[in-house]
Amino acid sequence: MGCLEASVIFMVATCALSVVARKLAKRHLVEPNQDPSKSSAWILAEEAIATFELCAVCYELSTVCDHFGALYYGIGLFLAVLWWAMTWEEAKACPYFHFADMLTRKRGMFDGLSRIAVETVAGLLVYPYVWTFWALGLSTEHRQKAFDLRCITDMQVSPMNAALVEGAGTMACVLFSLYINSKASWKISAPLDALVSSVLVCFALNYTGGYYNPVLATSLKLGCDNDDYVDHLAVYWLASSLGCIPQMLYPLIRS
């Protein structure tokens, strides 16, 4: 089997398993006639499943990028983001949205930190799952990845420049998403949002990896060669979270 075919099978299977996991969790964690948004257990499970799905798919998209280039990576990311827009319901799978909600008092401190903690743990649990698939050896490339334990940071510029890239990229994604969702119907806004996000990620691939999501960056790259922990936190957590400031200011501007 070819590398691309194996990668597609893995990503489709992961998304399908996530749908099943989401339905099972909702069935068991939400009481009959209960508003799902009132079930704390369901909310945390939803965030965990979405984060696990996000990180697993992006792990495999990195394989696609390594062997087929940014174009194939971008197409795969666009389709994945569009799929998540259709299936994630209220899940964010990204900590800085919860930071914003806590700072604007839309959400309590315990609630927000619980979601961030669940997302972080889910992201860190992804590697054994992905490695198990690689170890199946469905393609030569995947077999090699299973036994090549080298991991190199995607930060190819200075930490300061990397922080600017991640912060500006996050801000651009957030601003466009807020704007297009306020101006167009979901059928128009979702594909455009996915397209712009994918383009911005591809633009930053050779600078920082274009993660624009703290948990995703930590899941894929924390502890890799040349990845200093302080720089990692400053670039992928602090800078991208600062890039989410428009998320906090937008309601005030509109009002």
Residues with Cβ within 8 Å of residue 164, at least 6 apart in sequence: 239
pLDDT tens track, the chain, 255 positions: 899 999 999 999 999 999 999 999 999 988 888 888 788 999 999 999 999 999 999 999 999 999 999 999 999 999 999 999 999 988 999 999 999 889 888 888 999 999 999 999 999 999 999 999 999 999 999 999 888 878 889 999 999 999 999 999 999 999 899 889 888 888 899 999 999 999 999 999 999 999 999 999 999 999 888 778 999 999 999 999 999 887 777 666 555
Given this model, what pLDDT does residue 251 score? 62
Q: Is 90 exposed, middle or buried (0-12, 13-18, 19+ CB in 10 A)?
A: exposed
Residue 19: per-residue pLDDT: 97
Cβ atoms within 10 A of the Cβ of 184, count? 14
- What six digits make up the tokens of 243? 């890039």
Helices assigned H by DSSP within the chain: 3-29, 40-68, 70-87, 95-103, 109-124, 126-135, 140-147, 159-183, 186-203, 214-221, 229-232, 240-242, 245-254
CA distance 1 to 161: 40
Distant-in-sequence, close-in-space partners of 209: CB < 8 Å, separation ≥ 6: 154, 155, 217, 220, 221
pTM of the predicted structure, to 2 decimals: 0.94
Helix axes of 40-68 and 126-135: crossing angle, nearest 10 degrees: 40
pLDDT of residue 150: 82
DSSP symbol at 130? H
C-alpha separations of 208 from 133, 159, 163, 164, 205 in Å: 26, 9, 9, 10, 6
Per-residue pLDDT at 89 = 86
Q: Which of 63, 70, 226 is nearest to 235 (CA)?
A: 226
What is the model's pLDDT at position 186? 85
Q: Distances in Å between the alpha carbon of 59 and those of 183, 240, 255?
A: 33, 20, 40
- Region label for 226, one of left (φ > 0), alpha (ψ between -120 and 50) or beta (otherwise): left
